[in-house]
Amino acid sequence: MAIISKFVRNRVPALQHEMKSHPTTKLKYLFKSNVEAAFESGELPKRYHGWKAIFHAFIDMMGPDGALYPSHAKIAEKSGACVRTVWSALNALERIGLIRVTARYTYDAEKGKKVRTSNEYEVMLTGAQKAAAMIACTVRKAHESSKRQMKQQAKAAKSFIHDLTATITHKTPLNINRGLKAEDRMPKMSHWDTIEWLRRGSQPT
């Protein structure tokens, strides 16, 4: 009985042994396997075969501690793709739940606010992790879209106020003589003559 109990306690899956000895190596292998499976199943479009080089360059930049936050420019440089293609490829990965993206911020003393510096990426392995990553992706995209709309609305309002102010400032002066008879109109005279005429309340002789 004791032998059976000892055997049960020591029944640790081989994967767990390998993860302890080579955690990042195993993560990279599983990520690449999941990417290949996504291409085969159609979750990732096969016509974008250039994305494979991007995904390999991306996962190869994972640190020994599992940290993964490379810039799009760095991935583009390593994979030979353009930054826009890297952005599209990583967005596709996030949509199907193979990675989870978290924005990283730092405080900018000059601007007096937090500014976005980069993204932190997590590799998702299990079905539950992938489902959670897809939900997080939807929430993040909706939040970012809302922020963009608010910025556009603020910019449009600022532009409208600026244009309105400029229009009022440069508007043609009101013609006070419009609609008056010839004898009632203010005569053309110099500045000081006008003041004197207004003071006396009658036309100059």
pLDDT given for residue 91 in this prediction: 93
3-state secondary structure of 123: strand
Cα atoms in the Cβ-side hemisphere of radius 13 Å centred on 172 = 2
Give the torsion through C-alpha atoms of 84, 89, 94, 99, to 10 deg.
-110
| Residue 3 banded pLDDT, cuts 50, 70, 90 | very low
| Residue 121 banded pLDDT, cuts 50, 70, 90 | very high
pLDDT given for residue 177 in this prediction: 52
pLDDT given for residue 173 in this prediction: 52
| Residue 156 banded pLDDT, cuts 50, 70, 90 | confident
The two tokens of residue 43 are: 């979750």
pLDDT given for residue 85 in this prediction: 94
**Is the per-residue pLDDT at 11 higher than 60?**
no
Do residues 101 and 140 lie in contact, with contact meaning Cβ atoms separated by under 8 Å?
yes
Which has the higher per-residue pLDDT, 22 or 93?
93
Model confidence pLDDT, tens digit, residues 95-110: 999 999 988 888 888 8
Rounded-to-integer distance, Cα 138 and Cα 115, Å:
22
Rounded-to-integer distance, Cα 86 and Cα 74, Å:
10
3-state secondary structure of 102: strand
**Is the per-residue pLDDT at 44 higher than 50?**
yes
Which has the higher per-residue pLDDT, 43 or 114?
43
Residues 6+ apart with CB under 8 A from 59: 27, 28, 31, 32, 68, 123
Rounded-to-integer distance, Cα 29 and Cα 35, Å:
10
Model confidence pLDDT, tens digit, residues 70-91: 999 999 999 999 999 999 999 9
Three-state SS letters, 71-96: CHHHHHHHHCCCHHHHHHHHHHHHHC
Do residues 71 and 58 lie in contact, with contact meaning Cβ atoms separated by under 8 Å?
no
Indicate the pairing of strand 113-123 with strand 99-108.
antiparallel
